[in-house]
């Protein structure tokens, strides 16, 4: 009976105690609220949006905010609020997909580099350094015209430029962990390197990696908006916060609401995910919580 009551309750209690600590932290609570609002507004954009974001109504173009159009209309008469809500779907899709692919591929390459043969380590590190040598914007402007602007191009650029970041972190952690006494003992007992990494090293490093990834989500959101602003990202009739900002920049003398509608969600997303990531790090990282 005691065997049934030991492990699961401890894990459950640790999770809920960590969640309570997160909500007691003012920064964490604000982060949770902002991220929840952002996610819900994107998920239920079809319900919350008062108009079709792609519906053109030229006679009502560049209208100021009113009871009908809360954030006004753009140069084609499209409702800006509706476009901002649907832009959240694009932003979160790019951020979550890019984060998942970058972390997944970076973790695999980092583990191979850190626990593999020396020649393979050198080759992977060289490829990391080569990719990181190119700024994201410069690489996007060079690659965008080749593959064409679009959602897949944005995700591809962000993934390729982010893999070295996570790969290097995992490589360093694996090299450090591989020198531990228990790893050397497992290798002396004949356990394969793949099994050691999968069962004993990866569980110890995946937590901090995921926390770092949560803090990088606003970076992906801002990058998508920036690339769309430059014409490399998504194209109309899709809605993006970057496209809204681009329209606001073009008509800055006639409209102010376009810039506000495009910038405000970016600010909320950046603050929300940054606060949440900082609070998660302080809450679930024992070393930081103990001040080590």
Contact between 126 and 69 under an 8 Å Cβ cutoff? The reply is no
pLDDT in tens, 92-142: 999 999 999 999 999 999 988 888 888 888 999 999 988 888 887 788 888
pLDDT in tens, 182-204: 777 777 787 777 777 777 778 77
Q: How confident is the model at residue 287 (pLDDT cuts 50, 70, 90)?
A: low
User: Is residue 8 domain-resident?
Assistant: no
- The whole model's pTM is what? 0.82
Model pLDDT, residue 86: 94
Average pLDDT, the chain: 83
What is d(CA 151, CA 161) in angstroms, rounded to the nearest whole number?
16
pLDDT in tens, 62-90: 888 889 989 989 988 999 999 999 999 99
From 78-92, 152-166, 243-257, the region with the lowest mean pLDDT: 243-257
User: Is residue 11 domain-resident?
Assistant: no
Instruction: For 163, list phi and psi in degrees, rounded to 5.
Output: -55, -45
Q: How confident is the model at residue 1 (pLDDT cuts 50, 70, 90)?
A: very low
User: Is residue 281 domain-resident?
Assistant: yes
In the 8-state DSSP scheme, what is residue 121? H
User: Is residue 14 domain-resident?
Assistant: no
Model pLDDT, residue 214: 84
How many domains is the chain built from? 1
The domain that holds 45 is classified in CATH as 1.10.3720.10
User: Is residue 24 domain-resident?
Assistant: yes
Which structural domain range is residue 48 located in?
19-289
Contacts of 171 (CB under 8 A, 6+ apart): 109, 110, 111, 113, 114, 121, 124, 125
């Amino acid at each position: 009976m005691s065997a049934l009551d030991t492990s699961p309750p401890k894990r459950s209690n640790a999770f809920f105690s960590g969640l309570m600590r997160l909500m007691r932290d003012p920064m964490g609570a604000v982060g949770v609220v902002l991220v929840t609002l952002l996610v819900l507004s994107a998920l239920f954009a079809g319900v919350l949006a008062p108009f079709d974001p792609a519906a053109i109504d030229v006679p009502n173009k560049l209208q100021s905010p009113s009871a009908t159009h809360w954030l006004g209309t753009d140069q084609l008469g499209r409702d800006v609020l509706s476009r901002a809500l649907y832009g959240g779907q694009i932003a979160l899709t790019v951020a979550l997909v890019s984060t998942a692919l970058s972390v997944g591929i970076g973790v695999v390459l980092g583990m191979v580099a850190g626990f593999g043969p020396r020649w393979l380590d050198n080759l992977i590190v060289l490829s990391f350094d080569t990719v990181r040598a190119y700024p994201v914007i410069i690489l996007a402007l060079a690659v965008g015209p080749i593959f064409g602007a679009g959602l897949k191009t944005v995700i591809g650029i962000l993934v390729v430029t982010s893999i070295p970041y996570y790969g290097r972190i995992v490589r360093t952690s694996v090299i450090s962990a591989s020198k531990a006494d228990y790893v050397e003992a497992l290798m002396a007992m004949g356990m394969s390197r793949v099994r050691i990494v999968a069962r004993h090293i990866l569980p110890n490093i995946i937590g901090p990696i995921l926390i770092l990834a949560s803090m990088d989500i606003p970076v992906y959101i801002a990058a998508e908006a920036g690339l769309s602003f430059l014409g490399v990202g998504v194209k109309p009739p899709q809605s993006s916060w970057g496209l809204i900002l681009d329209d606001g920049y073009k008509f800055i003398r006639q409209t102010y609401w376009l810039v506000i509608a495009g910038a405000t969600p970016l600010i909320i997303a950046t603050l929300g995910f940054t606060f949440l990531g900082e609070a998660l790090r302080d809450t679930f990282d024992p070393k930081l919580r103990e001040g080590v």
